[in-house]
Amino acid sequence: MKFEELRELVRARRTDMMVDKDRALDDGVVEKLCELAMWAPNHKLTFPW
């Protein structure tokens, strides 16, 4: 496989999730989810959020 083919394969790969884009999300829920994410293990303490 050529590099260009691999690059296109990687870029085209997506996971489709069933998301209701029209549904409003409360800011409080987002804050709670971010707080929970901070408690999750992360690779070499990189804190990707």
Would you list the domain boundaries of the chain?
3-39
The tens digit of pLDDT for each residue in 3-48 reads 999 999 988 987 777 888 899 989 999 999 989 888 888 777 777 6
Note whether 14 and 8 are within 8 A (CB). no
Q: First and final CA of the chain: distance in angstroms? A: 34
- Per-residue pLDDT at 49: 65
pLDDT at 2: 93
Q: Are 38 and 49 in contact (CB under 8 A)?
A: yes
**Helix, strand or coil, per DSSP, at residue 17:** coil
pTM, entire model: 0.45
Quote the pLDDT of residue 6: 92
Give 25's contacts (C-beta < 8 A, 6+ positions apart): none
Nearest-angstrom CA–CA distance, 24 and 37: 21
